[in-house]
Amino acid sequence: MKREHYRKRLLSLKESLLQAQETGEEAEQAVELDQTRVGRLSRMDAMQAQAMSIETGRRRRQTLLQIDAALKRIETDEYGFCQECGQDIAPARLEVDPTALHCISCASAKESQETG
């Protein structure tokens, strides 16, 4: 397996997320409620944009945790193996999601259990 390839991809993804996090934190700040300066609809738009920024930040932080976990698995030679069955995770799956924890069979089974 090309672990170095995946390590570089993960580090690149992490760097871009950290850069986005710097700019996104400003958008998560509290919305100003001064009615003399901003109309009601503008405040509602600002509050909606803030809520979306907060959720985007939460997802970004979650992805950063997943990237760090994947990098740790690379260091310990546990990367690329399904956490459920121990089989290799297909390289095509890792190309799509380098933080994947499960092979496609186990991921599908897990998803079926959660939705069923």
Enter the tokens of residue 60.
């970004």
Q: Are residues 29 and 58 in the same domain?
A: yes
68 lies in which domain range? 1-79
3 and 59 within one domain: yes
Structure tokens at 25: 């934190």
Query: Is residue 7 within 8 Å of 74, Cβ to Cβ?
Result: yes
Q: Tens of pLDDT along 9-49?
A: 999 999 999 988 877 666 555 555 555 555 667 777 877 88
Task: Assess contact for 9 and 99: CB atoms under 8 A.
Answer: no
Tell me the C-alpha distance between 52 and 46, whole Å.
10
Find where tokens 């970004």 sit: 60
Based on the domain organization, do 48 and 30 belong to the same domain?
A: yes
Convert the pLDDT of each residue in 62-90 to its tens digit. 999 999 999 999 999 999 999 999 999 99
